[in-house]
Structure 1
Amino acid sequence: MSAPRRIKLNINGVLLLDKPYGISSNGALQKARWLYSAAKAGHTGVLDPLATGLLPVCFGEATKFSSYLLDADKGYRATVKFGAVTTTGDIEGEVVLQRPVAFDRAALEAAIAAHTGAISQVPPMYSALKHQGKALYEYAREGIEIERAARDVTIHRIELIEFSGDSAVIDVLCSKGTYIRTLAQDIGEMLGCGAHLTALRRTTTGGFRLEDAHTLEAIEALPATERGGLLLPVDVLVAHFPAATLAAGEAARFCHGQAVRAQENCETMLRFRVYHADTQEFLGLADATPQGQLQPVRVMAAQAAPK
């Protein structure tokens, strides 16, 4: 007899997940989705299997607003090994070049300073970037090198946490699209010895912190009825926008995609997170129009919006 079909639930919210080592972001997402029996889920930025740490998972209506985390700055703690270059830029690749390590802390700090601010990076071959519909890492595994254009990214801050001669631990705050493996390799090249990552942990993204994240094991250990208590509300993804409220009638029209007038005076061309004035439930995002109305941009589904 086949097992009964698992019922999928319409769950809306954000789970701060601490992704474990050795599993892909999608694998972690699917495990979290299974634990919550969620009908719909998505994550907010890929972490390599080597990398661990903060991976916000969006359930249900939260997926509509996940792009705001994809574009957010991110923080990492990276462990860098000097003196060896690998095929992948991390510990999982084959060593292709070894050179002596002959620099001091002052030289390392100077190299770090040189890689802070607006810089250009060439994306690594072992990445999920697509070329003609195929991920670059697939070409790399076939021994094919694809020419990649350099990309502009911003390294807001690099802090040297530990240094032991041939390895270092650094904290990095950077813009979206930054490859920490490439940053480590470039610093190693400037020091004349090469480098690769031995560990990488995402610590922040979009204002969220790793300290507030939950492991898959901890979630699974909870009774199913208590797991919802770990979810953050959908509007945490857009908390950086100013708020506006709508009376009941305007709220209903807004949820059907119509431009409406808010209870507050909303400045033209600003984006707002919109709430029902009576229930304080989140309705979606809107842009203010020259006519002083709020034009819906993203709206919570009817079943998720207040009645």
Structure 2
Amino acid sequence: MYEGFLNLNKPAGMTSHDCVGRVRRLLKLKRVGHGGTLDPTVTGVLPIALGKATRLLQFLQYHKAYKGTIRFGLTTATDDLEGEILSSQSVPDLTLEKVQTELPNFIGKIEQFPPSFSAIQVGGKRLYELARKGETVEVAARKVEVFRLDVLDWRAGDFPELDLAISCGAGTYIRAIARDLGAILNVGGTLACLTRTESSGFAIEHSLSFADLEMQLQEGKFSPIPPSEVLGHLGAIVLSSEYTKRWFQGQRLPIPETPQKEREEASRNELSQTPSPLSPYFLQVYNEDGQFLGIGQVANSDTNTILSPQIVF
């Protein structure tokens, strides 16, 4: 039985759901999930949870990083090269300097409208399903956060291309950045290609392709990534043998006040938005032998500190 995580390098042409299905068949495992949907054309890091670890997906970090290419002078229905071309105009006079003057508009906390062809649900139906039927639905702008936008390369021409490295939070659509950057420059823009290089602490340098996974399985070398390597941003607590028994019984445990350093580390996790000493936060839980026991929620009051089981392994 496999328990833990797989850092999958998703190939182009497969949906995230397709990838989950293939992993399920390869590992002969029922419980498989993924952390963060990728469009079929997008390649790169797709965190896969195996077995009981599917219950831990909600506790992953939300930070993501991408490398992508924006093509200017072109707009499409999907905001990438897969969709119907809506407009096409050569823009040989567009320069990198002009583009760079507008990039700061897309850094920090920004609002963006999701692409019409996206997996967001409206009235129980996904936007791409409605778009394919020709139905137009107004979707409110969403607040997202972009931490960095770094220019990697620029290729001038009739349809110039910009290579970017992007670091952002959850829910950010790179296609929307391509579309909106083209719009603010009055030339149009669409996403030409995209690779996710990092997601929830998983890096592309350490990812496995399906070919890698199949080879490791054939050689008996595949080993899932343990939760401890993925959840370090939560901080940790070690329980005594007596407390371990009570943990498995689902009891709430009085514990010494968590050190300020661990409390700050736990609060940095996006699941705990408020770093106040009295705000609940989450910790990894281990026994004295280093065995992962699950995730606990810590609540501090003026009189005591309580650890409550949230996920028990």
TM-score, scaled relative to structure 1? 0.89
Is residue 77 of structure 2 the alignment partner of residue 83 of structure 1? no
Corresponding residue number in structure 2 for 1:296 = 309
Same amino acid, percent of matched pairs: 31
Q: For the residues of structure 2 that align with 1:174 and 1:246, how far apart are their CA atoms?
A: 35
Q: Which amino acid aligns with 1:91?
A: L
Task: Give 1:14's match in structure 2, choosing from 5, 14, 22.
Answer: 5
Deviates more, 1:284-293 or 1:126-135: 284-293
Map 1:179-198 to 2 at 5 A.
Answer: 179-198=173-192
Deviation at 1:92, TM superposition (A): 0.8
Task: Give 1:93's match in structure 2, choosing from 52, 73, 83.
Answer: 83
Partner-residue secondary structure (3-state), 1:125: coil
- Render the CA deviation track for 1:65-104: whole Å, top value 9, x for unaligned: 10123x6111010111111101111111111111231321
Corresponding residue number in structure 1 for 2:34 = 43
Gaps of 5+ in 2: 260-277
Q: Which amino acid aligns with 2:286?
A: Y
Is residue 228 of structure 2 the alignment partner of residue 235 of structure 1? yes
Task: Give 1:260's match in structure 2, choosing from 253, 263, 266.
Answer: 253
Map 1:121-132 to 2 at 5 A.
Answer: 121-132=112-123
Deviation at 1:208, TM superposition (A): 1.9
Q: For the residues of structure 1 that align with 2:58 and 2:228, how far apart are their CA atoms?
A: 13
Is residue 100 of structure 2 the alignment partner of residue 109 of structure 1? yes
Task: Give 2:199's match in structure 1, choosing from 189, 197, 205.
Answer: 205
TM-score, scaled relative to structure 2? 0.87
Q: For the residues of structure 2 that align with 1:197 and 1:270, how far apart are their CA atoms?
A: 38
- Render the CA deviation track for 1:221-252: whole Å, top value 9, x for unaligned: 234462532x1002333211221111112112
Map 1:133-172 to 2 at 5 A.
Answer: 133-165=124-156, 166-172=160-166
Contact 1:11 1:39 in 2 (8 A): no
Is residue 240 of structure 2 the alignment partner of residue 250 of structure 1? no
Q: For the residues of structure 1 that align with 2:155 and 2:243, how far apart are their CA atoms?
A: 62
Contact 1:52 1:200 in 2 (8 A): yes
Q: For the residues of structure 2 that align with 1:133 and 1:226, how far apart are their CA atoms?
A: 43
Partner-residue secondary structure (3-state), 2:295: strand
Partner-residue secondary structure (3-state), 2:19: helix
- Render the CA deviation track for 1:29-78: whole Å, top value 9, x for unaligned: 11112111112010000000010000010001111110123x61110101
Q: For the residues of structure 2 that align with 1:38 and 1:249, how far apart are their CA atoms?
A: 33
Aligned length: 287
Q: For the residues of structure 1 that align with 2:153 and 2:177, how far apart are their CA atoms?
A: 17
Is residue 264 of structure 2 the alignment partner of residue 274 of structure 1? no
Q: For the residues of structure 2 that align with 1:205 and 1:43, how far apart are their CA atoms?
A: 11
Once superposed, which parts of structure 1, at least 4 consecutive aligned residues long, lie more than 3 Å away? Answer: 267-270
Deviates more, 1:267-276 or 1:82-91: 267-276
Q: Which amino acid aligns with 1:286?
A: G
Gaps of 5+ in 1: 1-9, 301-307
Partner-residue secondary structure (3-state), 1:107: helix
Q: Which amino acid aligns with 2:40?
A: P
Partner-residue secondary structure (3-state), 1:57: strand
Q: For the residues of structure 2 that align with 1:65 and 1:22, how far apart are their CA atoms?
A: 27
Q: For the residues of structure 1 that align with 2:78 and 2:94, how far apart are their CA atoms?
A: 24
Q: Which amino acid aligns with 1:156?
A: F
Deviation at 1:270, TM superposition (A): 4.1
